[in-house]
């Protein structure tokens, strides 16, 4: 009888451990993982709002910048300086990827950052 009682007791404690582990997983671990995933998704959404890949059009000597992802109007001007003046007002903390090798960043947009696959070079 002692052996049978020990086996049943072991099985009982094993089942209690399984149930307790599943409850801990469901009520503690999964909510923590979900909160982390929610934070990461929020950060990605914030970055997507701040980074714009530029689609440029020139019509009658006026340069127009649009967001390449959703065609939202960004700025217009006769040259780079006029566009930068608009960007400083409308998007002071944003980043604009001009083409495959150049981008500018707020708040002053006073540098064009050139990049290739491995390096970033600053030029004024």
Is the confidence at residue 53, as pLDDT, over 80?
yes
Q: Is residue 5, in this structure, part of any structural domain at all?
A: no
Q: Is residue 84, in this structure, part of any structural domain at all?
A: yes
Long-range contacts of 62-68 (CB under 8 A, 24+ apart): 65/96
Q: Is residue 45, in this structure, part of any structural domain at all?
A: no
The parent domain of residue 86 ranges over 51-123
Q: Is residue 76, in this structure, part of any structural domain at all?
A: yes
pLDDT value at position 66?
Answer: 97
46-72 mean pLDDT: 94
pLDDT value at position 119?
Answer: 62
Q: What is the pLDDT of residues 19-36, one digit of tens each?
A: 888 887 788 888 888 999
- The alpha helices in the chain, defined as continuous H runs, are 2-24, 30-50, 80-90
Q: Token match 């495959």: residue?
A: 100
pLDDT value at position 1?
Answer: 64
- Of residues 59 and 115, the one with the higher pLDDT is 59
Contact residues for 3 (Cβ-Cβ < 8 A; gap 6+): none
Q: Is residue 36, in this structure, part of any structural domain at all?
A: no
pTM as predicted: 0.69
Q: Is residue 31, in this structure, part of any structural domain at all?
A: no
Q: Is residue 27, in this structure, part of any structural domain at all?
A: no
Cα gap 95→91, rounded to integer Å: 9
Q: Is residue 42, in this structure, part of any structural domain at all?
A: no
Q: How many domains does the chain have?
A: 1
């Amino acid at each position: 009888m002692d052996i049978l009682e020990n086996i049943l007791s072991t099985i009982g404690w094993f089942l209690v451990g399984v149930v307790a582990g599943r409850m801990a997983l469901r009520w503690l671990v999964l909510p923590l993982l979900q909160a982390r995933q929610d934070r990461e998704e929020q950060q990605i959404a914030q970055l997507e709002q701040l980074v714009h890949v530029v689609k440029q059009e020139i019509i009658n000597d006026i340069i127009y910048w649009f967001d390449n992802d959703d065609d939202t109007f960004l700025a217009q001007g006769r040259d780079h300086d006029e566009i930068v003046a608009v960007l400083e007002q409308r998007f002071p903390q944003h980043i604009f990827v001009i083409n495959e090798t150049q981008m500018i960043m707020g708040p002053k947009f006073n540098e064009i950052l050139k990049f290739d696959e491995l390096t970033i070079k600053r030029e004024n």
